[in-house]
Structure 1
Amino acid sequence: MLPSKSKWLVPDWSEDQVGELAEATGLSNIAARFFVQRRKTTKEEVMSFLHMDHRSLLDPFLLYDMDRAVDRIRRAIEKQERILIFGDYDADGVTSTAITYLTLKRLGAEVSYYIPNRFTEGYGPNEGAFRQAAEESVSLIITVDTGISGVHEAEVAKECGMDLIITDHHEPPPVLPDAFAVVNPKQEHCSYPNPNLAGAGVAFKLAHALTGEIPEDLFDLVAIGTIADLVSLEGENRYLAKAGIEAIRQGPRAGVKALLDIAGAEVSELNEETIGFMIGPRLNAAGRLDSADPAAALLITENPHEAKDLAELIDGLNKERQSIVKEIAEEAIEQVEAQGVPSVIIVGAEGWNPGVIGIVASRLVERYYRPVIVLSFDQEKEQAKGSARSIEGFDMFQSLSTCRDILPHFGGHPMAAGLTMSLSDVEELRERLIRLANESMSDDDWIRKLKVDLPVSIEEVTLNAIEDLQAMAPYGIGNPAPKVMLEDVGIVSMRRIGATGDHLKLSVNNKGSGIELDAIAFGKGDAADEISKLSPLSLVGKLGINEWNGKRKPQFLVEDMQISDWQLFDFRGNTKFARQQHLLNRSEVTAVTFSHPFSAIRTEIPEEWIKVEVIDGFTDDQRAIIQKAGDVVFIDLPKTLEQMERLVQELKNLEKLYPVFLQADSGKIETVPRREQFSELYKLFIQQEKVDMKRHAHTISRKKGWSMDHIRFMCKVFSELEFVTMKDGIVEVVSNPEKKQLNDSALYQETLAKQEVEQALYYSSSGELKRWVEQRKNPAAVPEA
């Protein structure tokens, strides 16, 4: 048994409409099945999804206050007023800044941008920056990807004689800032059909509205911001991401090309994962560790040499960020382990870099599947800055909203938030959120879920089918990559790969099919010790194409795996057991010996193992232990198959079985001679009456082709049955012996039983042994092979 890491949510499935849709669209059955699952059942719906164009973009003036914002900006451009773009320091923020700056520059505006420093100014607009802007004769401030919570800063702007236009996409507070215009698709009186725009998306809509045409040259920037900020990739957002990816493939701007070069990414192969895992983290690194200005400058510059220098600077910061994250995450895990895992995890320490604690929070959510807040303490200011990440079912923004009295500054959405608070209120926040989680969350909410889109068979996984699925990209929130399930496949081969064996490579097939499929499970190398190749394995993951040396093959990218039945790990033989015993050094292992007390076994058995000596049957206490046992080691062979059968029938909760059978290590099976051999040898003895076996045994062996072991054994059986006497190697026939059968010999019976035991349990193949155990454990489940 190998439990899955998540609860698999497998939908009820019907093939209705699949064949018809596949025929109408020319798609594979897998792709058609996927579209039906996502409620796109007509050719028109599918083609519209696959072939989006400019018609997917909505009228920017449907955004509330967009008309006021555009009128004011145009007036400022016409009068050459000084305009300041106030941005944010993450990837969405710097792309929003670049989009707005490039647009206004193109329109001839007198414009500059300002991105606050995370460490000295914190998140969002601030009074100091606004007053400095007023001193520099700025008359119009435009916020991008920020500002929706800046009530006080809006008053400062008004006091300083500046107009303020807020463009943002974060959750609005109950009271909005008193600004000249507030453009936010999430605000209450905005009827814009797409409330899930990223900050870059809102900036792109502003650029569209200002220029009167779709700014196609900004598709790349809006795609980076949209994908990096993890907003829903449905409808308009999906088109923006898709158009931007294609624009970068066709020819990236200088800054994006420099980032891709330093990351070692191929422009022609760029996709949403390239942006999410290579471009986004590097843009974020600048603002996380220092100023985000280099990231914005990188996206704005047209000079390739300047872009290369900026990309190298940012890449260096990203490497430093990775090191800091690793260090803080280790310290945070120590705190969690020390305090136990509560319903809501809140950890913090002096000196933790506030720029990376959001990443650490995500790591903790991944590890513990709990809502997490990671805080950076500043004892001098008696303040804590935090980043929060959540799980499905626990709305972080709403939960923090119930604590407004102790959270002077916070913002975010259901799955993530940022906050600033007094150190003295940290424990109060912890108690409130834990109480809220315990009251609102069900037992099922604490279990990680993995939604399966559809089951597939190995035969269906072709290059054409995978290419059909890839046409549905870009994938992300709202349009997740299809999760498919392979159920109860056979394992052809399995090995660890990677420099330190961190990953698992498998080849799987359907029973009875010659078609094999490669699978790779990143970060799951340790699972190699938990999987027996004899076991049917179920996998959930994504389908991809592996390209190597010009060859393309389907590949299964494993996210989770499961074995639902008990497993057999074949450790038979002393050398194999000695080599692999370290895998069993766990306290929950139950070791069983049939023939010897543990004190007589010449192999070190770990003290923490539960030991059961089943030499002459077992007691009620031993039966209870065996029935409860999950991981069981058979140390040696039983005397009879019946003895093993009785034990196997009591293995009610078996998960892993490790047959070792230490004493059967001679490498030679102890067979019983045939009855004809007994008859021939006895006739020879009768003819000779006396035979000196010291002189003649080898001659008999050579002439008859019998082993010396067999000859000695038959002599012992004859002696036991009193057919002959043996003394000093001389065999003499007994006159008129009592009539007896071979079965009357205890030695013959014992050796016959031992032969049966060894043939069935020791010299059988791994598969034969598993079937033997399964047949006795569950007679109705598996027929004898």
Structure 2
Amino acid sequence: MIPVLEQRKIPAQFASWLWEKGIRTEEELTEFFNPDVTAFHDPFLMHDMAKGITRIQEGIANGEKILIYGDYDADGITSTTVMKEAIEMLGGEPIIYIPDRFMDGYGPNEQVYRYFIEEQGVQLIITVDNGVAGYKPVKYAMEAGVDVVITDHHELPAQLPEALAVIHPRHPLGNYPFGDLAGVGVAFKVATALLGSNPLELLDLVAIGTIADLVSLTGENRALVTLGLQVFRETDRIGLVKLCEVAEIDLYKVDETNIGFGIAPRLNALGRLEDATPGVHLLTTFDEEQAEELAHFVQQQNEKRQNIVKQIGQEALAMVEQMPNHSLYVLAKKDWHEGVLGIVASRIVEATGKPALVLGINDKGIAKGSGRSVGQLNLYEALCEEKDLFLAFGGHHMAAGFSLEATLLPELQERLDAYIEREEIDLTKGKEVTVLSAPDLSDIQLEFIESLAKLGPFGTDNEAPCFLFENYQMQQVKQIGADKTHLKLVAEKNQQTIDVLAFNKGQEIEEFMTVNPLAFIGELQINEWNDRKKPQVLLKDYEVKGLQVFDYRGKKQSLTQVREQDALYVYWDEKVKPNTGDTWQYRADLAGLTPRETVVLVDCPVNSQEVRQVIDITKASRLYCFFLSEEEYYLNGLPNRQKFARLYQLTRQVEEVDIRYKLPQVASALKLSQKELIFMIQVFFELGFVRIDNGVMKKVVDPLPHPLEESPSYKERQQRIQTEKQLLYSQPQELYTWLAQ
């Protein structure tokens, strides 16, 4: 394998990544790195393909009214467009219909079928990206003498519709070798069979729908998307050109990320809010003015969708914070916009790591919504167990749509919690990711990252290589984005740095402010800004091991930020006690300390070992270090011997001084600060060099000589200086090393 990788200028360390993908022979490597039309399978291997093609050809030849019945998401929009253009290439003039999410629902709708058959005289219906779940509407059409050709890729129900043809890559009576086509992929196979060759000019549409629907980017899909991206970059579709402009995407460099996060969400926004038909018009128009107008409309709808998602997402997360600890969250509210609830559910899963069902309740008391899951829970199977509660539901392992009486929502929550417990489903186990050890930062050059692109396009089942970065310090941490939702970080190791981008981690900023060494995994990318390119890591996950130390030294005002937590405040000096009246603040009486996960060290003790005692007793796992110092012993230091000598000479020359009133004058005369003078007088008093009577310093005749170090105050200040040096003025990594040892 290694020689083949070297020949293709692929770093040898990717051999293990390819091996995990099951790509091990030279033939498999060649196929992986050269996805082309040879990966396209014969469309006639699909069940009913020949029957369906014959009927469509007859309809075109006879000038019949043909209805293409699509779907309202990006896969459905592109599927509709592919089928429309294929039929038009053969001279047909099909009618297209994209169902309204809110009026018609998903899939075949009998009322809509009835309208087109009885009012419009439709003689043939072709479904794209839907159909297998439409038993009753299809039966009505067939009994009305209108043939239905279903082209779909969704989960096959136990009872298939009695259509003229059911074209599906996983049909049990078919022999198609690749079952993971998107709806647009199936439409493309029908177009290929209709036209007698691969209509490569349609592959830009196929790439959009395939990426948008999150199907497996392996096998035939990998070839469809790879070639589709090439077609996209040279597309003649003026609508796509204009859409890229409003989305600020470089058409000539478009990749799967641009489509997945730029093009697809905009097309999806149409059907989430209103009618998705303008999406088909955008993709098919040859009128530049119309294309520009439609592209701006799509952009406006997407911005509107983003605002709705933001509002509902905030409300849903607030609900989660107020709820008991469930295995799965059922969240519902009156008038939540039905079209965006799947996105909101995904946000809840991302924020909590738990499955979420998010529903809007209408005026009739019906709750309708979407669910998203995690890998350990097959959401469709879970809902099947509780099917008696639903008016309707459907979906697959990771996602579902459903409706039920709103009064049944508490019971649904209770039953799903019980199901997860009964089936012993461990939701704490995260998704397993194959990671590669990150190279030294000096080896992460642009050329290295560019070589990663040869492993793409990336997506489901072909995720981009994930690298493990261990023992890194975060030097800079800041929130970015309009709502400070994301983080921009600078990671450092061995005096070398790399930028890190963490999406949707804005609320976890504090975790990255720890001085602990961090381990994190992420994808390597090239950040291009103002014609400058530099490597960066797209963070996927991170881990902080052992005691977490948060360095808040020099940030007294930040005490208020920590107060929101169930924290134990430990302080040694009464003067620095936060004036809050909170009952969970303790004076430094070690006997009164109790175990607590979070401990705030407010100020510096006399001896740094007292800090270690606090850690041992509380068994803290999170330590906030302020180490406030009103006196700043380390910076002020000890008065030197010349200063002590000047004071000593004064005590020999003057019988007494009323320091209550004369302190400023004496300090000025001796060129001392008043604080220094008070400290030095205390030292002399402890050593027997002077007496203090009612605030009057008096001379001691022939005092015995003593070293300054014998004074308790002098020794305490020496100790405080050493403690502040260690706790307050050490480097962050030095502080962490000392605290964690």
The alignment's TM-score, normalised by the length of structure 1, stands at: 0.83
**C-alpha root-mean-square deviation of aligned residues, in Å?**
3.7
**Shift in Å, 1:165:** 0.9
Q: Select the residue among 42, 53, 62 that pairs with 1:59.
A: 42
On the 8 A contact 1:587/1:610 being kept in 2, the answer is no
Deviation string, structure 1 residues 651-676 (Cα, Å, up to 9, x no partner): 533422313233334774342656x9
Q: Select the residue among 571, 582, 585 that pairs with 1:611.
A: 585
Q: Select the residue among 78, 84, 96 that pairs with 2:61.
A: 78
In 2, Cα distance between equivalents of 1:518 and 1:591: 35
What does residue range 151-190 of structure 1 map to in structure 2 within 5 Å?
A: 151-190=135-174
On the 8 A contact 1:672/1:752 being kept in 2, the answer is no
Q: Secondary structure at 2:369's aligned position in 1? A: strand
Q: Select the residue among 497, 503, 512 that pairs with 1:516.
A: 497
**Shift in Å, 1:595:** 4.7
Q: Select the residue among 285, 293, 303 that pairs with 2:287.
A: 303
The question of 1:548 aligning with 2:529 is answered yes
**Shift in Å, 1:552:** 1.5
Deviation string, structure 1 residues 381-435 (Cα, Å, up to 9, x no partner): x654432322212222233334555545433322122334556665655554443
**Shift in Å, 1:98:** 0.9
What does residue range 499-514 of structure 1 map to in structure 2 within 5 Å?
A: 501-511=484-494, 514=495
On the 8 A contact 1:691/1:730 being kept in 2, the answer is no
Output the amino acid matched with 2:546: D
The question of 1:669 aligning with 2:636 is answered yes
The question of 1:45 aligning with 2:28 is answered yes
Deviation string, structure 1 residues 22-70 (Cα, Å, up to 9, x no partner): 5454312443443234343444433321221110111111111111111
Deviation string, structure 1 residues 457-488 (Cα, Å, up to 9, x no partner): 32342212211112222211111122222111
Partner residue of 1:633? 600
Partner residue of 1:698? none
Cα 1:612–1:101 change in 2 (3 A) is same
Return 529-538 or 59-68, whichever deviates more.
529-538
Q: Select the residue among 570, 583, 602 that pairs with 1:592.
A: 570
Q: Secondary structure at 1:306's aligned position in 2? A: helix
Q: Select the residue among 84, 95, 103 that pairs with 1:120.
A: 103
What does residue range 270-285 of structure 1 map to in structure 2 within 5 Å?
A: 270-285=254-269
**Shift in Å, 1:213:** 0.4
Q: Secondary structure at 1:531's aligned position in 2? A: helix
**Shift in Å, 1:211:** 0.9
On the 8 A contact 2:709/2:715 being kept in 1, the answer is yes
**Shift in Å, 1:525:** 3.7
Q: Secondary structure at 1:230's aligned position in 2? A: coil
What does residue range 642-657 of structure 1 map to in structure 2 within 5 Å?
A: 643-644=610-611, 646-650=613-617, 652-657=619-624
**Shift in Å, 1:555:** 0.7
Q: Secondary structure at 1:214's aligned position in 2? A: coil
On the 8 A contact 2:519/2:542 being kept in 1, the answer is yes
On the 8 A contact 1:328/1:352 being kept in 2, the answer is yes
On the 8 A contact 1:673/1:710 being kept in 2, the answer is no
What does residue range 757-776 of structure 1 map to in structure 2 within 5 Å?
A: 757-774=723-740
**Shift in Å, 1:123:** 1.6
What does residue range 621-770 of structure 1 map to in structure 2 within 5 Å?
A: 622-623=592-593, 625=594, 628-641=595-608, 643-644=610-611, 646-650=613-617, 652-665=619-632, 668-671=635-638, 673=640, 691-692=653-654, 720-722=686-688, 734=702, 744-770=710-736
Cα 1:317–1:142 change in 2 (3 A) is same
In 1, Cα distance between equivalents of 2:511 and 2:355: 29
Output the amino acid matched with 2:723: V
**Shift in Å, 1:647:** 4.0
Partner residue of 1:27? 10
Partner residue of 2:202? 218
What does residue range 226-625 of structure 1 map to in structure 2 within 5 Å?
A: 226-337=210-321, 339-340=323-324, 342-380=326-364, 383-405=366-388, 407=390, 409-421=392-404, 429-442=412-425, 444-449=426-431, 451-457=433-439, 458-498=441-481, 501-511=484-494, 514-532=495-513, 534-572=515-553, 576-577=555-556, 579-596=557-574, 601=575, 603-608=577-582, 610-614=584-588, 618-619=590-591, 622-623=592-593, 625=594
Partner residue of 1:102? 85
Q: How many residues align?
A: 731
**Structure 1 stretches of 5 or more lacking a match?**
1-16, 696-700, 779-785
The question of 1:93 aligning with 2:67 is answered no
Q: Secondary structure at 2:474's aligned position in 1? A: strand
Cα 1:603–1:54 change in 2 (3 A) is same
**Shift in Å, 1:330:** 4.0
On the 8 A contact 1:595/1:639 being kept in 2, the answer is no
In 2, Cα distance between equivalents of 1:20 and 1:33: 14
Output the amino acid matched with 1:537: L
In 2, Cα distance between equivalents of 1:113 and 1:650: 72
Cα 1:551–1:648 change in 2 (3 A) is same
Cα 1:723–1:581 change in 2 (3 A) is closer
Return 538-547 or 745-754, whichever deviates more.
745-754
On the 8 A contact 1:21/1:32 being kept in 2, the answer is no
Q: Secondary structure at 2:176's aligned position in 1? A: coil
In 2, Cα distance between equivalents of 1:42 and 1:487: 32
Cα 1:76–1:763 change in 2 (3 A) is closer
Deviation string, structure 1 residues 607-645 (Cα, Å, up to 9, x no partner): 336233236xx32xx24x1xx233323334333455455
Partner residue of 1:8? none
In 1, Cα distance between equivalents of 2:388 and 2:711: 91
On the 8 A contact 2:68/2:80 being kept in 1, the answer is yes
Cα 1:609–1:465 change in 2 (3 A) is farther
The alignment's TM-score, normalised by the length of structure 2, stands at: 0.88
Partner residue of 1:5? none
Q: Secondary structure at 2:223's aligned position in 1? A: helix
On the 8 A contact 2:475/2:492 being kept in 1, the answer is yes
In 2, Cα distance between equivalents of 1:718 and 1:331: 66
What does residue range 127-142 of structure 1 map to in structure 2 within 5 Å?
A: 127-135=110-118, 136-142=120-126
In 2, Cα distance between equivalents of 1:429 and 1:724: 83
On the 8 A contact 2:634/2:725 being kept in 1, the answer is no
Cα 1:565–1:348 change in 2 (3 A) is closer
Output the amino acid matched with 2:152: D
Identity %: 35
In 1, Cα distance between equivalents of 2:297 and 2:684: 91
Q: Secondary structure at 1:659's aligned position in 2? A: strand
Return 260-269 or 429-438, whichever deviates more.
429-438
**Structure 2 stretches of 5 or more lacking a match?**
658-666
In 2, Cα distance between equivalents of 1:126 and 1:329: 31
Partner residue of 1:6? none
Q: Secondary structure at 2:521's aligned position in 1? A: strand
**Shift in Å, 1:254:** 1.8
**Shift in Å, 1:271:** 1.4
**Shift in Å, 1:520:** 2.1
Cα 1:152–1:463 change in 2 (3 A) is same
Deviation string, structure 1 residues 191-235 (Cα, Å, up to 9, x no partner): 311111111110000001111101101001111111111111111
Q: Secondary structure at 2:522's aligned position in 1? A: strand
Return 267-276 or 725-734, whichever deviates more.
725-734
Q: Secondary structure at 1:48's aligned position in 2? A: helix
**Shift in Å, 1:80:** 2.5
On the 8 A contact 2:474/2:512 being kept in 1, the answer is no
Q: Secondary structure at 1:374's aligned position in 2? A: strand
Q: Secondary structure at 2:628's aligned position in 1? A: coil
